[in-house]
A and B are shown apart, each in its own frame.
Chain A
Amino acid sequence: MSIWEYANPVKFMRSSGAILPWVVAGAAICTVFGLVWGFLTPVDYRQGATVKIVFLHVPAALMAINAWLMMLVASLIWLVRRHHVSALAAKAAAPVGAVMTLIALVTGAIWGQPMWGTWWEWDPRLTSFLILFLFYLGYIALWEAVEDPDSAADLTGVLCLVGSVFALLSRYAVNFWNQGLHQGASLSVAPGERMSAVYRYPLYLSMLGFFLLFLALLLIRTRTEIRRRRLAALLARENRA
């Protein structure tokens, strides 16, 4: 038993089909309960009701970065081992990651207006996040622009490597540059409480929900890409015959 067995499209379709209902159910339950629980939390003494935006903003930002890092791993597997399923998984993850990035940007701007007094600031973390979003759009556009799927996978793989700099920067920009408006991490394993348990537990549930939602969409979209690839191969074979 090896992890590379899942690079076989047939094996991937069978395995993903078996776990998909459980992932979808988990995603629906955790996302709905996490967001409803978050929405019902008491108002914060400093932020007022805007604290409820954290249950959208933090999970979306977390998945925006991690989706790109997942695409990086999948792209490296493609570039090194030429497994088609990994290239298709990277392609499948990009639109979901782009939506997560957009949610993080929009909710951040909506929260920032009353709290910081501005919708936008050219702060290191905000700027690197905007660049990450542009990389997502460029990545999706490049897949659509190149006709040969293997060439598209090669080129987007290289783009993914370059974009990873901004994915990591958007996570660690606050640590690298001690300037800008954006605060440090909301949650940390370091000693000292940064967030009250009243907010922390619904936030954990929302984060789990967003992760499972990403995983469910990733599996469905990868299965879609495999089917499209299979249909294209059948049509090409018939045209040659």
Chain B
Amino acid sequence: MIELGKYAGTVLAAYGISLGLLLAVVVQTLVANRRARRELEEHERNG
């Protein structure tokens, strides 16, 4: 068991917020990339 002592809330909040922000930027990046690729491919396919 990981011992965080009286700072458990502090450490977990730091990790939770940071990982949430990293996950958000990763997801936003992948979604935007997929959309851009799909729109360009559709346009090139339809001429």
Q: Which residues of A contact B (CB under 8 A)?
A: 35, 39-40, 43, 48-50, 52-53, 56-57, 60, 95-96, 99, 102-103, 106-107, 110-111, 113-114, 213, 217, 220-221, 223-224, 227-228, 230-231, 234-235
The residues of B that contact A57 with a CB separation of less than 8 Å are 14
Q: How far is the CA of A95 from the CA of B3 in the complex (A)?
A: 35
The residues of A that contact B5 with a CB separation of less than 8 Å are 43, 48-49
Indicate if the CB atoms of B11 and A107 lie closer than 8 Å: no
Q: How far is the CA of A50 from the CA of B5 in the complex (A)?
A: 10
Q: Which one of A49, A110, A231 contacts B3 once the chains associate, using CB atoms below 8 Å?
A: A49
Pairs across A and B, CB under 8 Å, 23 listed: A35-B15, A39-B2, A43-B4, A48-B5, A49-B3, A49-B7, A49-B8, A52-B15, A53-B11, A57-B14, A60-B18, A95-B25, A95-B28, A99-B22, A106-B17, A107-B17, A213-B22, A221-B32, A224-B29, A227-B36, A227-B37, A231-B39, A231-B43
* Chain A interface helix/strand/loop/mixed: helix
Indicate if the CB atoms of B22 and A103 lie closer than 8 Å: yes
Indicate if the CB atoms of B14 and A56 lie closer than 8 Å: yes
* Chain B interface helix/strand/loop/mixed: helix
Q: Which residues of B contact A (CB under 8 A)?
A: 2-8, 10-11, 13-15, 17-18, 21-22, 24-26, 28-30, 32-33, 36-37, 39-40, 43-44
Given contacts A43-B3, A107-B18, A230-B40, contact A113 B10 (CB under 8 A): yes
